[in-house]
């Protein structure tokens, strides 16, 4: 049985979406103690804390379901050719596939952190100065750069990572129809 790199990319997109759904489930399960302990909200910031904690798993759930449902369309947009793979460059095609899968994984694992950072920023902006936000500020400060780098680098790799192709295959011209 032969699987083309495009078939493998399609399968990888579906597997990554399943990982996202499992991460969302894990996030919702982690919210159970928070909801059980804070059943009586006395301040507005407590409600915001619970709501913002709910955003990350919800975003993962929505994106994971979207990716699973539309994996074929996503694969078609990432793999812009219907031509059979060249037998002369199987390693190059597989390398391009691996680069795109790596980019997809980087983005998937950076998304919860990015949503959590956004939630902390919204929390900081929504409460009064009487409540300390040192922990939230520190979290944003410590994680913002790594989340941005992961999202940007993952996007670059998902779009083909041409620089890495040139480094891996120095004598070859990249085929634009598979990147």
User: What are 95-115's pLDDT values in tens digits?
Assistant: 788 888 888 888 988 888 888
Q: Are 156 and 147 in contact (CB under 8 A)?
A: no
Question: What token pair was written down for 58?
Answer: 């919800």
For residue range 13-41, what is the model confidence (pLDDT) as tens digits? 888 888 888 888 888 887 777 666 656 66
For the whole model, what pTM was predicted?
0.60
Task: Name which of 49-53, 105-109, 116-120 the model is least confident about.
Answer: 49-53
Is the Cβ–Cβ distance between 160 and 176 less than 8 Å? no
Sign, CA torsion 168/170/172/173: positive
**Mean pLDDT throughout 61-85?**
79
**Whether pLDDT at 159 is above 50:** yes
Q: Burial code of 117-132, b = ≥16 C-beta within 10 A, e = fewer?
A: bbbbbebeeebeeeee
- Residue 40 is classified by DSSP as S
């Amino acid at each position: 049985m032969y699987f083309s790199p495009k078939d493998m990319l399609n399968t990888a997109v579906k597997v990554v979406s399943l990982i996202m759904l499992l991460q969302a489930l894990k996030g919702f399960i982690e919210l159970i103690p928070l909801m059980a302990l804070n059943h009586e909200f006395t301040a507005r910031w407590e409600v915001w804390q619970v709501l913002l904690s709910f955003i990350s798993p919800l975003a993962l759930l929505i994106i994971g379901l979207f990716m699973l449902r539309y994996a074929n369309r996503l694969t078609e947009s990432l793999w812009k050719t219907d031509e059979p793979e060249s037998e002369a460059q199987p390693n190059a095609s597989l390398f391009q596939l691996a680069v795109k899968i790596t980019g997809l994984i980087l983005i998937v694992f950076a998304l919860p952190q990015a949503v959590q950072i956004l939630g902390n920023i919204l929390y900081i902006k929504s409460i009064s100065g009487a409540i300390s936000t040192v922990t939230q500020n520190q979290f944003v400060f410590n994680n913002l750069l790594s989340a941005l780098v992961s999202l940007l680098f993952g996007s670059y790799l998902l779009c083909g990572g041409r620089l890495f192709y040139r480094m891996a295959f120095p004598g070859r011209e990249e085929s634009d129809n598979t990147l």
